[in-house]
A and B are shown apart, each in its own frame.
Chain A
Amino acid sequence: MTENKLVVSTSPHIRDTANTRKIMLQVIIALAPATIYALVIFGLPAFWVLLASISGALLGEFAMQKGRRLPVTLSDGSAFLTGLLLALTLPPELPWWIALVGGLTATILGKQIFGGLGHNIFNPALVGRAVVFVSWASYMTTSYFKSAAIGIANTSAHQHIVDLVSGATPLAAMKAVYDPAGATFVPQGLNASNYYKPLLLANPWGCIGEVSALLLILGGLYLIATRIIDWRIPLTYVGTVAVLTAFTGRDPLFYTLSGGLLIGAIYMATDYTTSPLSSRGKVIFGLGLGLMTFLLRFWSNNPEGVMFSILFMNGMVPLIDRYILPRKYGKLRCAEEGG
């Protein structure tokens, strides 16, 4: 017969069709509705933030890989996703150059310094955000949307709140309500329940990605259904926050929907590289996140605590992965036999 060359390699000889690029693309698709909706609500300023952040992330990745003479992997979509996630955690009226610095920091300091995809310890997008958060704190706390001219959320209850606390984020406003001791201004008559509808449907007082909790949840369900992310981290994280919040007599639903909790729990804490590998590890990670966020939200100066919670727990992941292993097969019987 004719001599033709046969490929010889070890098994398995077939592979799943999933690859890094497809996974990143799925996450981007899940975030698309919230992103597009945010652009509709916030308009051009948010667009510049988004553009600057993503460009910064791509540029940082490209420069580092070129500089280290490594193959450039922009096409795997991970740098784009980092830029997108960072933008979604920035205020819509942030000057574009801060977003650009954030994007550059995210991929250079958050990811490539450690050796690139799969090697970083901390969530790159949150490293970028942490750097701009501490560097330009005033911009980060005052660049929220001030106009309340949003039709969808424009109920009477909503109008009432806006009159009371123009410019403040719901978490900041409620922190003053629940904990008036250190507050400069305590909005009288403000209830957590006034915020439910705007938070779910159209929240003008938050970061770009916090515009609609509903769209974030739908995106999360899509990712869980397509098995891109595991349900354990978001569920244990949000669940822990809700339970602990309820214990302190505060409104658990409000604290679940507001701030960066949902975007953090669904899209950031589930980042593959910076979360534990095993199912058990994921549960412990989620519980730790919930506890940290609870502590930071109510016992720190900041109304928000999601970013530092995730960064803190990211640091715990190597430890979790070393000691929380999947249950060893064959151990059960050995124990029975006294082995």
Chain B
Amino acid sequence: MSKTLRLFHRIRGGIYPPRNKHFTRERPILKIEAPERVVIPLQQHIGTPCKPRVKKGDEVGVGTLIGDAEAYVSSPVHSSVSGKVAQVAPQPHPLGGDKLAVIIENDGLYTPDPSLRAPYPWREMPPEEIRKAVRSAGIVGMGGATFPTHVKLSPPSDSPIDTVIINGSECEPYLTSDFRLLVEEADLVVEGLNIIMKAVGAGKGIVAIADKKIEAIENVEATARGTGIEVFPLKTRYPAGAEKVLITNVLGREVPSGGLPMNVGVVVNNVGTSHAMAHYFAAGLPLVERVVTVNGSAVVNPSNLMIPLGTSFSAAVEACGGFREPPGKVIMGGPMMGLAQYTLDVPVIKGTSGILALSVEEAGYRIPTEPICIRCGRCVDACPMNLVPTYLASYTHAGKWDELRRFNILDCIECGCCTYVCPTKNPIVQLVKTGKAELARMKRREDKRKEELAAVDAEGGGDDGE
């Protein structure tokens, strides 16, 4: 797409919330030790949960495979410490509820698993081998969505990929983990981009970075000089990093409704994912740790930490000097799309980009008993997907499912802009999520009914024949 068209084809929606990145943006990534026990959930990705590959009493090293699944859309998990498996049992999971996890007593030695070895240099590996290596390293989308990366790197033959974008927009307030990686280890991020380009056969690589992160932009530009990799400064706003928004603003292409980036020849990966890939190909160690921004007014020393997976949130906060005051709300991820936690016993997982502890005052707001809309239209202006959020909320509230489809509810990316700007504090995105879930439920029911009907028809046909 030509440059001029790019300029005219932009997504206008979005919001400018207080960015609150100054607490941690100058704080270098600090590697911390795992606590005495780590809790490693067997599902840290979207897809089939892993089955445990270890049992109580087994000795494990750093990088030992502790869970895997046969399914393609799945990703194995590895131990982040060395020691002994204490238990395999359901434990509180940051995505909600209790999920099966491996609990390991940390011996504090961090002995690597003896079977680990650096894979062959990726430049000499065919794409299929790269994808296999990425899967065995347990790498998933580290921006928070945790979609298995090897699946993303396997576009079908009818969707050729020409461009790979590394998403460095980090548009959620408070989070600085990707920024720190771009400042401290840009070489690995660029290396990761090269690996992804090779895996999908793309000729073009772009690192998209918010234009206010000048330090990161300059650093990546210097690192990528002469490699043909482009740095694209994004206008700083939320949700500049939402996949569809990013693709449209960088390339001027629109991902079709219900489609995937690969339908327009693009693969998007997070900075953390790219970094993890390069790290794996260089050091041979699977994904067992990640950078997490621990931030918020309730934390004594907000920091960027390199945390072994399975470390509890409370241990991560302890490493930042603990709480200044009892927190009112603890969130995994950023304040716009993150998930509120009911306990600090949940572990850091592959999708934990941040731990945000808000004060009681910041956490408290009253949810209206009934959606009130003064029709100010702010949600319509803010919606990056050009929807009419207030209608989606009211139609869900009224149970008008057909209207929800008419107003394209399934295109909602749940970024929360509508809810952020709403002057009546209407829980719009919450209602939209409810509406989407209800439609999905209805569709499943409908499919099942059709199946049954088809089965009855088949039987009936047989009867007639006899």
Contacts and interface: CB of A to CB of B under 8 A. Distances in A.
Given A6-B327, A6-B341, A117-B372, A333 B429 contact: no
A327 B419 CA distance: 21
Contacts of A69: none
Contacts of B365: 15
Interface stretch (A19-27, A57-65, A181-189): A19-27
A10 B430 contact: yes
B380 A326 contact: yes
Interface residues of B, number: 72
A12 B15 CA distance: 12
A272 B375 contact: yes
Contacts of A23: 374, 376, 423
Contacts of A230: 377
A327 B425 CA distance: 26
A278 interface: yes
Residues of A contacting B: mostly: loop
A193 interface: no
B408 to A, nearest CB: 6
A149 interface: no
Interface string B224-268: 000000000000000000001000100001111111000110000
B253 A326 contact: no
Contacts of A11: 331, 335-340, 414, 416, 429
Residues of B contacting A: mostly: loop
A6 B253 CA distance: 42
B294 to A, nearest CB: 15
B427 A10 contact: yes
B436 interface: no
B72 interface: no
A328 B358 CA distance: 36
Nearest to B248: A329
A337 interface: yes
B162 interface: no
A60 B372 CA distance: 20
Contacts of B329: 6-9, 13
A7 B419 contact: no
A19 B423 contact: yes
Interface in A300-339: 321, 325-334, 337, 339
B52 to A, nearest CB: 29
B458 interface: no
Nearest to A330: B257
Nearest to B414: A11
A118 B373 contact: yes
B378 to A, nearest CB: 8
A277 B421 contact: no
A325 B416 contact: no
B100 to A, nearest CB: 22
A339 B259 CA distance: 12
B87 interface: no
Nearest to B18: A14
A60 to B, nearest CB: 18
B71 interface: no
A66 B421 CA distance: 30
A14 B375 contact: no
Interface in B15-41: 15, 17-18
Contacts of A75: none
Nearest to A23: B423
Interface stretch (B78-86, B175-183, B272-280, B382-390): B382-390
A279 interface: yes
A15 B430 contact: no
A20 B385 CA distance: 25
A12 B339 CA distance: 9
A273 interface: yes
A282 B339 CA distance: 36
A117 B371 CA distance: 12
A206 B430 CA distance: 49
A330 B254 contact: yes
Nearest to B374: A118
A318 to B, nearest CB: 11
- State the 9 A-B residue pairs at the shortest beta-carbon distance, nearest first: A12-B416, A330-B257, A326-B386, A4-B326, A272-B376, A13-B335, A7-B363, A14-B335, A277-B377
Given A18-B423, A23-B423, 14 more contacts: A6-B329, A6-B341, A8-B329, A11-B335, A11-B339, A13-B336, A13-B363, A18-B378, A19-B423, A118-B375, A278-B380, A327-B386, A329-B257, A330-B254
21 contacts: A6-B340, A6-B343, A7-B328, A11-B339, A12-B429, A13-B335, A15-B419, A15-B422, A16-B15, A16-B423, A272-B377, A279-B380, A321-B388, A326-B386, A327-B386, A329-B411, A330-B257, A330-B411, A332-B254, A333-B255, A333-B263
Interface of B: 11, 15, 17-18, 173, 244, 248, 253-259, 263-264, 314, 326-331, 335-344, 356, 358, 362-365, 367, 372-378, 380-381, 383-388, 390, 407-408, 411, 414, 416, 419-425, 427, 429-430, 433
